[in-house]
Amino acid sequence: MFLIEDDLKINFEGRSINFVIPIYKNINRYFIPILEFIKQIGGKINIKRSKINVMFKEKSTICRDYCIDDYKFTIIDNVLYISLFDMCRILRIRSKWDYRRSTISLYWDKSNYKNCGSVCGRAALIRFEDITAGGEYLDSDNLEKLRVVADYMFSAGMQFHIAWIPRFVDPQDGIDNDISKDYSMPNANFLFTMEYLLNRNGIIGLHGYTHQYGDEVSAVGTEFNDERNNDEKSIRKRVEAAINTAKKLGLPFKFFETPHYAATAFQQSIFEQYFDIIYEPFVGIWGERIVKSPRNHRTFYIPTPLGYVEEKDSIDKMINRINNLGEATLASLFYHPYIDFEYITLKSGINRYPMSSYSESSPLHQIVKALYFNGYNFTKITDLNLNSKKYEFKKIFYSFLNSHKYSKLR
């Protein structure tokens, strides 16, 4: 734990919070003195054993039976601290990050996001590709838009996956950003957003370690193929570095994916010693179905036969592939969420309350509608019956999309 810089400011509902007790950071996660914060925003808190009860004149927020795996608490000099994200989660608070002013503005969440769930039926899988602390994903507005995308997925009961590149490298610009080591406010916002995605029913996977090689830029370069990191020592070193980064940050992961699906059979044989799910086709059995490894008879390889939307102009090709899916084909695709950012408008309400509008004409909305009208709904790879020849949900959810009047596409 380290004392945070004096210039970091936290506002609540437009009013500055003047902490008497200092704020700390642990790598890129802020820790707030919860008792003082609750008192300054006009509430009372009662903590008894495993129950936290927070009361306000017009609000009541209760968190029962918290466990250390769900909320990040710590005690410093006999003061109870909670991570900023977990405080926002418990109290249902939204955040707005301003790097230039070194300010995080907090507000009561006026949105009524509820995970209504999706209808049962054939499963579709979507993976948000190349999420990393670099490029557009360090911009404050873009991270807020990514949270808006997660809100949309959550409210519609659509599960999603996050292909995270743990370390962003751009050698030509002298950038080597590992958020488990390098503190900055943008990195803290990125980690906050990753936790937000998890809380919106996202599943994180490791998309290589740097997704690059030599002088290449992360998310563009190729990390594994028959000429790169092709010996056992190099493979293990990079896989274990990715795993250790995630563990250090406390980010749970469920799968691995090779950048550009370029791995060899030998490289995959090493990957599957670490992972039960590899989110890419099995080398040697390039098909449209899930494959259980014939090597260890445990690891599942999950392909993406629908491919991806290269840019927004190619959405028609994706819709056509969806409309012509065969019954034997897994409805699985990956998508770069930055494509939807131009369809999201960020606004400010009273006291600069963060608001947004998300156009239903966005490519992601169109993909969701097309799959829905073809009898599919998004689920998690961990909820699939992987041993079944029919890709259906293990769980049955309440219907959300039936309550919306969508017109069938094309």
Q: Which domains does the chain have, with CATH numbers?
A: 2-108 (no CATH), 122-403 (3.20.20.370)
> Which tokens belong to 323?
């409309």
Look at strands 103-108 and 9-12 and give their pairing. parallel
Note the pLDDT of residue 406.
32
pLDDT tens per residue, range 338-384: 999 999 999 988 888 999 999 999 999 999 999 999 999 899 999 88
How far apart CA 43 and CA 36 sit, in angstroms, is: 10
pLDDT at 400 over 50: no
What's the rounded Cα separation, in Å, for the pair 207 and 211?
A: 7
Task: Give the pLDDT mean for 5-26.
Answer: 89
Distances (CA, A) of 232 to 60, 235, 240, 267: 55, 5, 12, 8
Q: What are phi and psi of 26, to 5 degrees?
A: -120, 100
Q: How does residue 312 score in pLDDT terms, banded at 50, 70 and 90? A: confident
**Mean pLDDT, residues 102-122:** 78
Q: 42 is written with which tokens?
A: 């006009």
SS3 state at 83: strand
Tell me if 208 sits within 8 A of 242, measured CB to CB. yes
Mean pLDDT value across the chain: 88
Question: What pLDDT sits at residue 116?
Answer: 57
pLDDT at 227: 96
Of 86-95, 119-128, 213-222, least confident by mean pLDDT is 119-128
pLDDT at 266: 97
Percentage, residues of the chain above pLDDT 70: 88
Residue 385: the pLDDT is 75
Which of 46-60, 137-151, 301-315 is predicted with the least confidence, judged by mean pLDDT?
Answer: 46-60
Torsion, Cα 157 158 163 166, to 10 degrees, reads -10
Structure tokens at 302: 């999950």
